[in-house]
Amino acid sequence: MSGLRPDTQKKSDLYNTNLITTPHHKYSTLNKNRYFYFMSFHSSSQIPVSFSYGFNAHWQTIYPHLQRSFRSLYRQNKALLTHLKSSDGDVIPYLHWTDNSRTESQKDLIILSHGLEGAATSDYNLEAAATLHQQGFDVWAWYMRGCAPEMNPGPLLYNSGFTLDLKSLCEQANKQGYKRLFLIGFSVGGNITLKALGEGLQGITAALAYSAPIVLGDVSDHLSKSFDGFYMKRFLKSLKEKIQKKETQYPGTLPLDKLSACRNFYSFDDDFTAPMHGFSSAMDYYDRSSSIHLLSSIQTPVKLISATNDPFLTPSCFPNPAAYPNMQFYYPDHGGHCGFGYGKASMAEMALEFFQQMTNFER
């Protein structure tokens, strides 16, 4: 394990595996200062990594979002919108940035998966797509069910472990004959990416997940408290709007009388998400949809990058790299939630270097 703090490491070191070792464990309660010290399972001493929910955690989450949103105002969006029929008959809209001067067999494709209540047009997606396409990749950025400008026609909304549509997109990409296929998932999109790979998704050259809530039950509980529930309240508002729209499509199928009483993720998921997707309860949904249980089954080269000052995540979302030799991990002490790139390598740049490591290609 490197003795350097993450923010003093060389850029080339940023992509090495096991620079910081942390365990996967259940945490008990937050202390008043909201700091944690992780214990290494293969060492009797504490490792010098703190987990903080202080001011910088929120600043490094919100400010990069504002920066990316501002830059997007001056960036020409050359993406086209396409619709793919999912394996269960619903429709998956996705934006694609395509180099028409070459055939698919001559090109690599990267599929981007957005986060909770995000969209194909989320600022981190658009910025990554612009950088990656400029480097010669075709890029697809898809809308999860209910997140497109028009509501999906089927009865289901997405959930934080719903992998069906990502698998349908990958199947379509492989049918089109792309040379290589890469995946990048942001936040919930990262959990979905890791879960799909753990379920046996084939044909992927390499994948990267940013700020992934891989233990959904812990994160659900934590977000009801983090920043006085600021993030949770914002997400719940738009989730409730989606339920109302879906009820308009399918009258009498959803218990709208319970909607106003949903004050946190648990009550919303217990009353709506779980029954919609065939889970017995919110806890059953969280347990079966958390990618942590499937990490050891992943055969594809994959890397998880999460900041230890991420205000969305709990210590349980930072698994011990020693327990998963099939994966790479990087846990910097900066970056907030999907806020990487603030004065350092952007998320697209980190992905490019990791993918190049895994394939030894030059672009």
Q: Are strands 80-85 and 91-97 parallel, antiparallel or unpaired?
A: antiparallel
Per the model's pLDDT, the better-predicted residue between 78 and 26 turns out to be 78
Q: Count the alpha carbons within 13 Å of 38 in the hemisphere toward its beta carbon.
A: 26
Who contacts 214 (Cβ-Cβ below 8 Å, separation ≥6)?
190, 191, 194, 290, 291, 292, 295, 304, 317, 319
Residue 15 confidence (pLDDT) above 50 = no
pLDDT value of residue 279: 98
Domain boundary assignment for the chain: 6-215+294-359, 227-289
- CA atoms of 38 and 325, how far apart (whole Å): 19
- As a whole number, the mean pLDDT across the chain is 85
pLDDT value of residue 263: 96
pLDDT value of residue 44: 25
Residues 30-49, mean pLDDT to the nearest whole number: 32
Residue 9 confidence (pLDDT) above 80 = no
Give residue 27's pLDDT band: very low, low, confident or very high (50, 70, 90): very low
- CA atoms of 192 and 337, how far apart (whole Å): 16
Fold (CATH) for 6-215+294-359: Rossmann fold (3.40.50)
Residues 312-336, mean pLDDT to the nearest whole number: 93
This prediction's pTM = 0.85
Q: 107 and 56 in contact (C-beta within 8 Å)? A: no
Nearest to 227 by CA among 312, 339, 353: 312
pLDDT tens digits along 141-157: 999 999 999 999 999 99
Residue 246 confidence (pLDDT) above 90 = yes
Residues 259-284, mean pLDDT to the nearest whole number: 98
Q: 341 and 307 in contact (C-beta within 8 Å)? A: no
Lowest mean pLDDT: which of 144-153, 256-265, 352-361? Answer: 352-361
pLDDT tens digits along 90-110: 999 999 999 999 999 999 999
Residue 82 confidence (pLDDT) above 80 = yes
Nearest to 343 by CA among 5, 2, 3, 11: 11
pLDDT tens digits along 154-183: 999 999 999 999 999 999 999 999 999 999
